[in-house]
Amino acid sequence: MIKEKLTQIIQDVSGDVRTNLEGWQFVLDQCKVVPSTCYLLSSTQYYVAYYLKNNAINSSLVLYNNKQAVGIMPLMIHQNERFKWVLSSNGVEIVEPIFIPTLALKVKKRLESQLARVILALSRALSIVCCQFVNMKYDQVTSWYLMWANKASEVFSTHHLLVDLSLPLKEIRLGFRKSYRPLVNKGLQEWKVEVHEQVSDETFEQFRLLHQEVAGRITRSFESWNEQRSQIDTSESFLVTVSDENESLVGAGVFVYSSYQGTYSVGVYKRELFDKPIGHPIQLKAIETLKKKGVLWYEIGQKHLKVDKVTATEKELSISHFKEGFSTHVIARQHLIVHV
């Protein structure tokens, strides 16, 4: 019932913005740069499945001009732990729309204004008090971000770890933290490390069960695992596994990618082998595979700092320190809080 209500609101606010996602892939195919893997349609489906128990609804939009799809906007709603609705692209914040490169600036600004009205209308209908916006591009802030910056009540930064995949692999490896270089080699020697660009049901189920075992509980819906499996099947992600001499899985990681960016989606490692080099060879294999596919940047994850707006746990700080040992760049990403 609420999905139909939201669709009606969108139609009332703008005729050039549609909930029919038929033109989504067309827009992605036209874009020279897709700044984040969150723009993959499969990623929006994954986020909705991840928040399924929170009544998530896919509200993503395709933007049209003269009956042609010219832009896309990942969007979803879900309820937080207080049963209040949240409007976001990934469960936390709203990213900028992206448009085909040939679109006239005047049309782009008109569509951005229509999208802004949609977001305000949806927020009012759902009694949403504020939204968080993020600038996803590495090299500049967008007109979309600046439009919301003029309305913002708060601005803050987060820091993110990248690998420049245009660099020669030898140079990337030499840039690894000095103590990690022998651990990468040791891990490759001690374990069976495999890249699965297609994965069997058995292997993927072993990965899911290892995640459940390490977490000590089921942390998310089966639907979200199915969406991750589908991303591998459609060549939008791959799985790297580490097994012992008995073919038992001891670690694994999933990596999602577009032509521009690869991201570290989820990883799991047996706790009792924490002191062993399991994650090290996984990162190397991910970098090698992304380079082979022509991806330009690999975003490993967030560099957590003690001064962050959201205080990091000791575990998050430790994971961040580990990931930083493979990065070539650290970038600052801007965020806005806007009362709507």
Residues 19 and 139 occupy one common structural domain: yes
Q: Tell whether 156 is covered by a domain.
A: no
Quote the CA–CA distance of 312 and 306 in Å, as a whole number.
Answer: 7
CA distances from 8 to 13, 44, 224 (A): 9, 21, 28
Q: Tell whether 50 is covered by a domain.
A: yes
Residues 201 and 82 occupy one common structural domain: no
Tens of each residue's pLDDT in the chain, 340 residues: 788 888 888 887 777 777 889 899 999 999 988 889 999 999 999 999 999 999 999 999 999 999 999 999 999 999 999 999 999 999 999 999 999 999 999 999 999 999 999 999 999 999 999 999 999 988 889 999 999 999 999 999 999 999 999 999 999 999 999 999 999 999 999 999 999 999 999 999 999 999 999 999 998 999 999 999 999 999 999 999 999 998 899 999 999 999 899 999 999 999 898 889 999 999 999 999 999 999 999 999 999 998 899 999 998 999 999 999 999 999 999 999 999 9
CB atoms within 10 A of CB 104: 11
Res 330: pLDDT: 97
Res 2: pLDDT: 82
Q: Is 239 exposed, middle or buried (0-12, 13-18, 19+ CB in 10 A)?
A: buried
Quote the CA–CA distance of 209 and 205 in Å, as a whole number.
Answer: 6
Query: Which of residues 105, 129, 151 is at a domain's end?
Result: 151
Quote the CA–CA distance of 304 and 302 in Å, as a whole number.
Answer: 6
Phi/psi for 176 (5° steps) reads -60, 150
CB atoms within 10 A of CB 265: 17
The whole domain housing 111 covers 2-151
CA angle, 29 then 76 then 2, to 5°: 130
Q: Which two tokens stand for residue 235?
A: 């060549």
Query: Which of residues 123, 151, 179 is at a domain's end?
Result: 151
Q: Tell whether 85 is covered by a domain.
A: yes
Ramachandran assignment for 26, one of left (phi > 0), alpha (psi -120 to 50 degrees), beta (any other): alpha
Q: Tell whether 146 is covered by a domain.
A: yes
Residues 173 and 135 occupy one common structural domain: no
Q: Tell whether 337 is covered by a domain.
A: no
Phi/psi for 34 (5° steps) reads -105, 105
Residues 105 and 188 occupy one common structural domain: no
Res 120: pLDDT: 95
pTM of the predicted structure, to 2 decimals: 0.94
Task: Determine the distance from the C-alpha atom of residue 139 to the mean position of all C-alpha atoms in its chain, rounded to a whole number.
Answer: 18
Residues 256 and 323 occupy one common structural domain: yes
3-state secondary structure of 319: helix
Residues 129 and 199 occupy one common structural domain: no
Res 171: pLDDT: 98
User: What are the residues facing 146 on neighbouring strands?
Assistant: none
Residues 128 and 217 occupy one common structural domain: no
- The CATH number for 46's domain is 3.40.630
Q: DSSP letter at 64?
A: E
Res 116: pLDDT: 95
- The CATH number for 242's domain is 3.40.630.30
Question: How many independent structural domains does the chain possess?
Answer: 2
Q: Are 302 and 133 spatial neighbours (Cβ–Cβ below 8 Å)?
A: no
Res 7: pLDDT: 83
Q: Is 165 exposed, middle or buried (0-12, 13-18, 19+ CB in 10 A)?
A: buried
Q: Is 100 exposed, middle or buried (0-12, 13-18, 19+ CB in 10 A)?
A: buried
Residues 106 and 188 occupy one common structural domain: no
Query: Which of residues 151, 175, 209 is at a domain's end?
Result: 151
